[in-house]
Structure 1
Amino acid sequence: MLAVVSCQVTAGEFTYWAYIPFPTLYQSVAWGDREVPVFTNDTAWMPLPFLNQDPELNTGTVNSSYQFGVEGLPICLGGSPHCLHFSHEAWAVRYNHSHISAFTMIIVAQSFKYNHTAVLNETLPSTLSLCPMPDVSGGVSQLEWTRCRGGGPRLLLEVKGKSRKYLVADWSVHGDFQTKFSHVNLRWHKGNHSIAADGNETIIWHDGGLSPPMPHLANTSQIQSHIWKLLTAGKPMFTFTGNMSLNLTTNIANPFHISLHQNSSRYVIACVRKPYLLLTGIFKWDNYTGVVNCTNNCIFLSCINTTWWNNNWNESHSDLYILTARKETWLPVNLTRTWSESAGVTQIYKVMQDLVHHSRRMVGILMTVVIGLVAIASTATVAGLALPQSVQNAEFVQKWHEQSHLLWQQQRDIDAHLTE
C-alpha cells in the first residue's frame, strides 16, 4: 500500500509526500513503550507466551555497522552504562505446605542485577498483591507464575538523559535466605554442585513467590515482564533442593545450617516475533540526538539460546537491543507531473478497457503494463532488502526520493502508448 498526499502552494506547484506503511526501517524499543512479548520453548517452567513452531535459530545477519533511532531511553541488555546488567535471580517453592526452611526447592536463572543499597520512594501499585510462597507436592512438573510484588521496589538502572534522569525499577520479588529476626543475608559456600550456609538464627526465605521480573521506568505503570527471558536463555536454569539442620556440637556460634544440592538444569530458547527484532553487537548511544550506532559485530536475531550466547557474547563489550519496525514513514516524492491516482490501479483499469475495444493488441498491452508495474514495484523490492543489506540510511532515502520521478515518467510513457 502506498498513499500520496499533495499540497498545492501556488498555482501549478505541488509538494507530494508518500505514506508508506510498515517500511523496513527499525527503531529501538524504549522504556515506556508497550510491553514486548518474548516467546519460549519451555511450556512447563516458563510463563506464557510459548513458541508454536520450531524456532529460527540461524537467522543472524552480520553487518559491519547499523544505525537506528530511539525516543527516550533505549531498552538494552549488556555492559554499557545505560543497559541492564546481568546477575542471577532465585525463586523458592515449598514442599507439602511445610516451613520454607524444612524442605524447599530453589530455581536459579540469569536475570537483572539490581542495586542492593538504593532506596526508592516509588509508590507500589495497588493492583499488585504481595507474592505468596507457592506450595507444591512431590516432583515439580509445572511452575505457575503470577504477577505479584515483593517487599519493595529495587533500583535496576540510573541514567542521566538529555533533559531528565531515568530510573528503571522493579517491583517483583528478589528472594534470598536470611536470618529470621535480624534479616541478615547468608554467606554461601559453593561446592560440588551444592551450596551451603550457616546462621546464628532460624533461617527463612525472604521475598517468596514466583513472579517474573517487572522492570519499568520509576513512577510509571508500563512494565516489561518478558525481557528477562532473553537473559534466562543465555545460561541454563538450575534447581536446588535441600533442607535446614541444627548443629549444636561442632558449630555453636552458627548452629543453623542449610544445604542445597543441584538436582536439575534446563535450557531455554527465547524468541521475539514481528514487528520486533533483536540486534547484538558493540553500540554507541547519543542521548542528545537519540541516535544509536552499532559499530561492530552487528548481528540480527529472532531467537537466542545458550549455544549462541556462549559462542557470540562478549561480557565486557556486547549489548543486546530490541528493535521494532516502524508502523509508517513519510517520504518526499519528487514528481515531474501532477498526481492523479494510483498508477497501478490506473493501468489495470486501462488494460481492461483496451482489451474490450482492442483485443488484438492484448499481448502487447499486457507486456507494456507489466514492465511499468515492475518498475514501480522495484522501489518496494529495494526496501525489502534494506534490513539485510544495512541500507537504512540517509543515502538510501535520498536515492529512493531521487528515483521516484523516473518511475512516474515511465507511467506517462505507458499512458501515451495505451491511448494510441
Structure 2
Amino acid sequence: MPSPFLNQDPELDTGTVNSSYQFGVEGLPICLGGSPHCLHLSHEAWAVRYNHSHISAFTMIVVAQSFKYNHTAVLDETLPRTLSLCPIPDVSGGVSQLEWTRCRSSGPRLLLEVKGKSRKYLVTDWSVHDFQTKFNHVNLRWHIGNHNIAADGNETIIWHDGGLSPPMPHLANTSQIQGHIWKLLAAGKPMFTFVGNMSLNLTNIANPFHISLHRNSSRYVIACIRKPYLLLIGIFKWDNNTGVVNCTNNCTFLSCINTTWWNNNWNESHSDLYILRARKETWLPVNLTRTWSESAGVTQIYKVMQNLVHRSRRMVGIVVSAVIGLVAIASTAAVAGLALHQSIQNAEFVQQWHEQSHLLWQQ
C-alpha cells in the first residue's frame, strides 16, 4: 500500500448513534457505498511485467477492492500538468517490493455523476485504467475467487494504461485530489497477488496466445483515519437541496476498518460510509446558578472591586487571590477547549459538562 503508515496499533474507537442523527454538508458529500450520490465499489488491478520480450512476459498482477468506473464515458477535462504518464513498470525478478507512483493515464474516467441543487457534480479520476481487453477490444473480467487463471486464445491481450498508481478521485476541473480514501475500500477485502506469464505458443496454430497465472498471496490491511476525522457507517438519506444527511438505520462511528468488520457489517446494496470532521467550535449548554456575565473572569473582578470598597486593608491579598483564581478558570476552560478540539466527545460528556459547568464560578 502507498504511505502513510501507522507505526503503532491504531485506536479502534467505535460508537453507535440513534436513527435521528443528522449532519450537514456543503456540496457533494464524501461517501462510499450503494447510494446514488456515493462512490460505488468494484475491483481494480495493477500489472507489473518481468523480463519482457516479444514472445513471453512474466507478469505479476495485484487485485484489490476499489472504485467502480464508467469505462465508456467520454470526458472533456483539462489535463493535470503535475502528473506524468504512467508506463507499465518493468522490474527484475529479484525485486522484494513494488513502488507506488503518482502518475496518470491517457485520459480521465468517470466515477460518479450527481445532480445537485444548483449544479451537476462529476467525480473523475486520472489514475491508470488497469483493465484488459482482447485485441478486438472485448473486455475481460477478473474472477478473483479463482486461485488459477489459465487460457489459450487466438487473440492477444492488451493491458491499458498499466502502472502502480493509486486511484485519485476528485471533482471535475478542480485541483483537490482525494488520494487516500480508496484504502478504506481496499481494507474491506483481501489484496490478491497473481503471478505467471503471458506467452506466444507458435506450435498451437489455432490458439497461439497463452496466459497462465496463479494466486500466490493474499494480504490483509487495516485502514484508519485520524482525529478530528471519523467514519460514520450505516443507512443514510441525503437531501441535495438542503445538504442535510439523515441516519435512517444502523449508524455506527468508527476510526478503523478491516476485512473482519467488513464481512460482518457491510451490506452491499444499502450500506454507505461517510467521512466526517468534528467541528472546531461547538456551543454547549451550561447550567448557570448566578447572573450571567461576559465571562467568569469578569465576574471575579466585579466581586473583587466590591470587596475592595468594604475591605481596603485586604486589597493586596484579594487582588493576588483574584488573579490566581482567574488563571485557574482560564486554564480549566483552555483544557476543556483543547479536549473538545483534539477528540470527539459523546453525549455523556456534553451532559456532564452541562451539570458541572456552574462549578467554574466557584474556582
Range class of TM-score, shorter chain:
0.7 to 0.9
Question: C-alpha deviations, 1:165-208, integer Å up to 9, x for none?
Answer: 1110100012x464685444336677850123444333342211
Give the secondary structure class of the aligned counterpart of 1:157: strand
Partner Cα distance (2:310, 2:74) in 1: 81
Deviation at 1:155, TM superposition (A): 0.4
Deviation at 1:393, TM superposition (A): 12
Native 8 Å contact 2:40 2:67 kept in 1: yes
Contact 1:130 1:148 in 2 (8 A): yes
Task: Tell me which moved more, 369-378 or 334-343.
Answer: 369-378
User: Would the aligned equivalents of 2:32 and 2:40 in 1 still touch at CA under 8 Å?
Assistant: yes
Alpha-carbon distance, 1:345 to partner: 7.4
Deviation at 1:114, TM superposition (A): 0.7
Change (3 A) 1:368 1:103: same
Name the SS of the counterpart of 1:279 in structure 2: strand
Q: Cα–Cα, structure 1 residues 212 and 190, in superposed 2: closer, same or farther, change >3 Å? A: closer
Q: Structure 1 stretch 107-116 or stretch 359-368: which is displaced more?
A: 359-368
SS at match of 1:385: helix
> Counterparts of 1:289 and 1:390 in 2: how far apart (Å)?
28
Query: Is 159-168 or 394-403 further displaced after alignment?
Result: 394-403
In the alignment, is the contact (CA less than 8 A) between 2:30 and 2:274 conserved in 1? yes
Q: Work out the CA distance in 2 between the residues paired with 1:177 and 1:247.
A: 23
What is the CA distance between 1:332 and its match in structure 2?
Answer: 11
Q: Deviations over 1:207-226 (max 9, x none)?
A: 11111101011111111010
Once the two structures are TM-superposed, the CA of residue 141 in structure 1 deviates from its matched residue by: 3.1
Q: Is the 8 A contact 1:101 1:204 kept in 2?
A: no
Deviations 1:56-101 (A, max 9, x none): 2353445444211100010100000100110001001122455696
Structure 1 residues 390-418: Cα deviation after superposition (integer angstroms, max 9, x where no partner): 9999999999999999988xxxxxxxxxx
Deviation at 1:252, TM superposition (A): 4.5
Distance 2:267 2:316 in 1: 60
Segment of structure 1 superposing worse, 280-289 or 345-354: 345-354
Are residues 316 and 187 of structure 1, via their aligned partners in 2, closer, same or farther at CA, if it must alter by over 3 Å?
closer
Q: Which runs of 5+ in 1 are unaligned?
A: 1-45, 409-419
Of 265, 270, 275 in structure 1, the residue corresponding to residue 228 of structure 2 is 275
Residues 281 and 341 of structure 2 are in contact (CA less than 8 Å); yes or no, is this contact kept in structure 1?
A: no
Q: SS at 1:278's partner residue?
A: strand
Total equivalences in the alignment? 362
Post-superposition Cα deviations, 1:213-263, rounded to whole Å, max 9, x if no partner, equal 010111111110100000000000000001123346x96554312121100
Contact 2:37 2:112 in 1 (8 A): yes
CA distance in 2, matches of 1:213, 1:200: 33
Aligned-partner SS, 1:190: coil
- Range moving further from structure 2, 330-339 or 130-139: 330-339
Inter-CA distance 83–399: structure 2 relative to 1 (3 Å threshold): same
Distance between the aligned counterparts of 2:276 and 2:100, measured in 1? 27
Q: Secondary structure at the match of 1:382?
A: helix
Aligned counterparts of 1:329 and 1:258: Cα–Cα separation in 2: 60
Maintained 8 Å contact 1:93/1:104: yes
Mapped to 2, the partners of 1:345 and 1:262 lie a distance apart of 71
Flag structure 2 segments of 5+ consecutive residues without an equivalent: none
Deviations 1:353-405 (A, max 9, x none): 99999999999999999999999999989999999999999999999999999
Asked if 1 retains the 8 angstrom alpha-carbon contact of 2:228 and 2:341, the reply is no
Confirm or deny: 8 A CA contact 1:186 1:199 kept in the other structure: no
Report the CA distance between 1:328 and its aligned residue.
Answer: 3.0
The root-mean-square deviation of aligned C-alpha atoms, in Å, is 5.5
Q: Distance in 1 between matches of 2:123 and 2:81?
A: 19
Higher relative contact order (CA 8 A, sep 6+): 1
SS of the residue corresponding to residue 180 of structure 2 reads: coil
Distance 1:311 1:153, change over 3 A: same
Deviation at 1:108, TM superposition (A): 0.4
Shift of 1:52: 2.6
Give runs of aligned pairs for residues 42-53 of structure 1, distance below 5 A.
Answer: 46-53=1-8
Q: Sequence identity of aligned pairs in percent?
A: 91
My pick for the range that moved more, 276-285 or 356-365, is 356-365
Q: Which moved more, 1:100-109 or 1:71-80?
A: 100-109
Indicate how the Cα distance of structure 1 residues 395 and 241 shifts in structure 2: closer, same or farther if over 3 A, else same. Answer: closer
**1:293–1:374: structure 2 CA closer, same or farther, 3 Å change rule?**
farther
Residues 3-42 of structure 1 show CA distances to partners (whole Å, capped at 9, x for unaligned) of: xxxxxxxxxxxxxxxxxxxxxxxxxxxxxxxxxxxxxxxx
The CA distance in 2 between the partners of 1:371 and 1:65, in whole Å, is: 44
Inter-partner Cα distance in structure 2 for 1:64 and 1:371 = 46
Deviation at residue 122 of structure 1 after TM alignment: 1.0
Q: Is the contact between residue 47 and residue 164 of structure 2 (CA under 8 Å) also seen in structure 1?
A: yes
1:342 Cα deviation after fit: 3.5
SS in 1 for 2:83: coil
Tell me if structure 2 keeps the 8 A contact 1:67–1:393. no
Q: Which moved more, 1:122-131 or 1:224-233?
A: 122-131
The verdict on how the C-alpha distance between 1:363 and 1:323 changes in structure 2, with shifts beyond 3 A counting, is: farther
Distance apart, 1:327 and its partner CA: 2.6
Contact between 1:100 and 1:205, CA under 8 Å: does it hold in 2? no
Asked if the contact 1:63/1:299 (under 8 Å) is kept, the reply is no
